[in-house]
Amino acid sequence: MSTVLITGANRGLGLEFVRQYTAKGWQVLAACRSPERATELNELAKQHTEIKLLTLDVTKESDINALAQQLNGQAIDHLVLNAGVLGDDCATLGDMTQAKWLEVLTINTIAPALLIQALRDNVAASEHKTIIGISTRVASISDNSSGNMYSYRTSKAALNQILVSAAQNLREQEVKTLAIHPGWVQTDMGGEKATFTPAQSVSGIINEAEKLTLEESGSFRVFDGTSIGW
């Protein structure tokens, strides 16, 4: 049985990842800050024994290290780095502070890097050997024509760089990485007027991850497979 670990698994895209990987027959390691309060996630776990709930506050390095110890020897085919924040209160000139910046960078950039570091051997021990970072088109420097979203753009551009570096460093172990834009999705972050449903986005992301080759490792794509300029 293939195994996926999903961060931020309690809502939005994370919860949809849990649903779709479960439907595919995978073992699902669903990680979030407070699993005991994740009502929908708990309901899914009651219905499907292949879902295992894990406690992970990505802002705490101790939680990341504890998770790695807990999963020692566990192969992880897909590592889905989904947990993230939009950084609305650190988006424009005049609103930025050091504390707000550090909060966004900790969640969107540093946590994924530490998770890759902590779980790289788990991924390398699997069959699919794939790390998926949920990025965004607005991380593209060449595509930035409107400004603003300072902390979000920057934190996700840095995430892309992390994924490209990991693609290089883990190539000998045949581990692949993918930075992917999920589209404008109807979640708490995207809002009700967004273009795509979580089901459409997640289905596309999983499809792209499953067909990713080692030669394509480190790519930056939309969930429909379209490439994005850096």
User: Is 230 within the bounds of a domain?
Assistant: no
List the Cα angle 65/90/196 in 5-degree steps: 80
pLDDT of residue 212: 98
User: Is 229 within the bounds of a domain?
Assistant: no
User: Is 228 within the bounds of a domain?
Assistant: no
CATH number at residue 178: 3.40.50.720
The domain total for the chain is 1
Helix 111-124 and helix 150-169: axis angle, to 10°? 30
List average pLDDT for each run of 10 residues in the chain, which is 230 residues long: 98 97 98 97 97 98 98 98 97 98 98 98 98 98 97 98 98 98 82 83 97 98 97
User: Is 227 within the bounds of a domain?
Assistant: no
pLDDT of residue 105: 98
The 8-class DSSP code of residue 208 comes to H
Task: Say how far apart CA 148 and CA 204 lie, in whole Å.
Answer: 28
pTM, whole model, 2 decimals?
0.97
Q: Which domain holds residue 24?
A: 3-222
